[in-house]
Amino acid sequence: MNWPGDIVIIQLRDDSDSQFIFPVLAIAFIDTPFYSPDQQLQTLLEAPPAHAFSKLDALYERILSRGPPELPEGSDGLADYQRLVKGVLTAIINWPEPTSITTIAGVLQRKIDVVQSVILGPMRSLFKFDPNNPDSFIMLCHKSLRDYLLDIERSHRFFIPTVDAGTLFMHILSRSPPSDRFYSQDQLRSLLAVMANWQRKWVLADLAEILDLDQQVVQNVVHGPAKALFHTDTHGNIDLSTTSLEPFLWDGDRSGGLSIRDEDLDTPFTQILSRPSTNPYYSDDLLDVLTVLVVRGEKMTKYGIAASLLGIEPQLVDHIVHGPAKLLFDVDSNGNISFSTPLLKPFLQDARRSGKFFIQSSCYPDTIFMRIFCHRHPTHHDCTSEKR
């Protein structure tokens, strides 16, 4: 007779109650390198019926009760292991987007290999993931597992309450660095302000230059107690680990004293605008292009329009837009130019914040264009004052 025999197969078929996930999990549960198939099968067949989901719930309970063979039932080590498993499941369920081993490790403040040992351990049948990539998304094996874990009447000691994502973010942001020299909360907030307002990936050197910080400090922020909020790819590019973090950071009612403000971007804007160029006229030309974009408001501005308004060649506009201040511009495939963040315009229009980069605006856009005209024709020193 073929193992495990027709009678056992029929019993397992009946236990599945037409739920496809049951045989999938049952096979994965039996076929584990940690215990013998006979031992796993016997454990599975002993699950007592109780309600409509009894066999599936009992299977989940059996899987969640398991640990590595070196951690016997009732031991402190097994209890610690099961708490870690529960933490992993809590992070997966409550993180606002599909997450990875790397992010889960950051949420739990555990080493990546420790979290990986859970995902790849006796409970691996509970997860869908790429075992060769710690940055790949990890999801629960089936919606029924989520339903089970969120129902205390079904999961009992394995019950997992839902937590608002903002609560998770606040918990992570409130963690103290090892020392004041590691990084400060203001430095963390400034870095988050920059990353929350540019939909792009960053390299460490650019972040350090824009924030006027040592690269080691930025490294400490990205890989420190708040590392769950950041993602670093295999090329060293850095971005936020979840887009849900941005609205949370701007909502002072939710993030409290950890919220970011418009003024947190003043230093990054100034750093970018102050970057030197080999072109002695670059600063003036840059200000002129910014002026055109301020005057035109939310409209996209083509290279040719900007060049015509400024009386320069389109190639010069291209050099400005892709020059030292390129982070301030977005250019689409049709050659339309716009600000890379909507917060740049109010900064440029606030003399207190922008200083020498202040762009005066009024209800008459030609006032600003007259300033450009005067810059292009320096012999007419009095034309701007006359226009105003």
The predicted-structure confidence for 188-217, as pLDDT tens digits, reads as follows 988 999 998 887 889 999 999 888 899 999
Look at residue 67 and give its three-state secondary structure.
coil
Q: How far is CA 109 from CA 80, 103, 191, 341, 370, in A?
A: 15, 10, 21, 33, 58
Determine the average pLDDT of the residues in 266-274: 92
pLDDT at 26 over 80: no
pLDDT > 70: percent of the chain = 78
Determine the average pLDDT of the residues in 258-267: 87
CA 240 to chain centre: 3
Numbered ranges of CATH 1.10.10 in the chain: 168-260, 269-387
Determine the average pLDDT of the residues in 90-115: 92
- Rounded-to-integer distance, Cα 98 and Cα 159, Å: 20
Q: How far is CA 367 from CA 88, 295, 297, 358, 361, in A?
A: 60, 10, 15, 14, 8
Q: What is the pTM of this model?
A: 0.73
Place of tokens 């049952």: 26
- Of 232-246, 317-331, 363-377, the poorest mean pLDDT is in 363-377
Report the pLDDT value the prediction gives residue 13, as an integer from 0 to 100: 56
Report the pLDDT value the prediction gives residue 29, as an integer from 0 to 100: 67
Report the pLDDT value the prediction gives residue 370, as an integer from 0 to 100: 56
**What are 322-356's pLDDT values in tens digits?**
999 999 998 888 888 999 898 999 999 999 999 99
pLDDT at 187 over 60: yes
Report the pLDDT value the prediction gives residue 21, as an integer from 0 to 100: 64
pLDDT at 50 over 60: no
Place of tokens 């030609």: 366
**Rounded mean pLDDT of the chain?**
82
Asked whether the beta carbons of 147 and 268 are under 8 A apart, the reply is no
Determine the average pLDDT of the residues in 286-315: 80
Pairwise pLDDT comparison (383 vs 244), residue with the higher score: 244
Contacts for 371 with CB less than 8 Å, ≥ 6 apart? 291, 360, 384
Pairwise pLDDT comparison (116 vs 1), residue with the higher score: 116
The dihedral over CA atoms of 243, 244, 249, 254, expressed in degrees to the nearest 10, equals: 180
Place of tokens 């540019």: 198
Q: What's the pLDDT band for 228 if we cut at 50, 70, 90? A: very high
Architecture of domain 168-260: Orthogonal Bundle (1.10)
- Of 113-117, 132-136, 173-177, 232-236, the poorest mean pLDDT is in 132-136
Report the pLDDT value the prediction gives residue 16, as an integer from 0 to 100: 52
Q: How far is CA 186 from CA 165, 182, 261, in A?
A: 22, 12, 11
DSSP class of residue 225 equals T
Determine the average pLDDT of the residues in 14-40: 62
Look at residue 52 and give its three-state secondary structure.
coil
Tokens of 374: 């005067």
pLDDT at 71 over 90: no
Look at residue 298 and give its three-state secondary structure.
coil
> CB under 8 Å, gap of 24 or more: what pairs does 9-14 form?
11/45, 12/44
Contacts for 179 with CB less than 8 Å, ≥ 6 apart? none
Determine the average pLDDT of the residues in 269-281: 90
pLDDT > 90: percent of the chain = 37
pLDDT at 4 over 90: no
The verdict on domain 269-387 having CATH code 1.10.260 is no
CA 233 to chain centre: 12
Q: What's the pLDDT band for 51 if we cut at 50, 70, 90? A: very low
Determine the average pLDDT of the residues in 96-108: 92
Report the pLDDT value the prediction gives residue 364, as an integer from 0 to 100: 42
Determine the average pLDDT of the residues in 53-63: 79
Report the pLDDT value the prediction gives residue 226, as an integer from 0 to 100: 95
Report the pLDDT value the prediction gives residue 350, as an integer from 0 to 100: 93
Determine the average pLDDT of the residues in 84-89: 93
- Rounded-to-integer distance, Cα 374 and Cα 358, Å: 17
Determine the average pLDDT of the residues in 356-385: 56
pLDDT at 220 over 90: yes
Q: What's the pLDDT band for 148 if we cut at 50, 70, 90? A: very high
Pairwise pLDDT comparison (101 vs 134), residue with the higher score: 101
Nearest to 339 by CA among 197, 186, 216: 197
